[in-house]
Amino acid sequence: MFKRRFNQMKPLKDRLLDEARSLREQANLLPVGAVRDAALRKARQAEAAAHMDDGLASPGPQPPKQTDVQSPT
């Protein structure tokens, strides 16, 4: 058996931010209440996940670069 696989056309960060934007637009149309709060919460979670994805994709802390400046003697 083979697993179905497909390549995503957009990066994860873009998809998460699109989802957050969509949820915020939907929440703006809803009356104040639990459903609206849930949509806003999901939007915040999607935005946080997008920022976490940035951190996970980064190469991590880099050592300071050595400069060719000579110390005064």
Residue 13: in which H helix or E strand, if any? helix 12-29
Strand, coil or helix: 50 = helix
Q: How many CA atoms lie within 13 A of 49 on its CB side?
A: 16
- Whole-angstrom distance, CA of residue 39 vs CA of residue 24: 7
pLDDT tens-digit series, residues 8-65: 889 989 999 999 999 999 999 999 999 999 999 999 999 999 998 887 877 777 777 8
| N residues, the chain | 73
- This prediction has a pTM of 0.69
Structural contact between residues 25 and 62, judged by C-beta atoms closer than 8 angstroms: no
* DSSP assigned state of 62: -
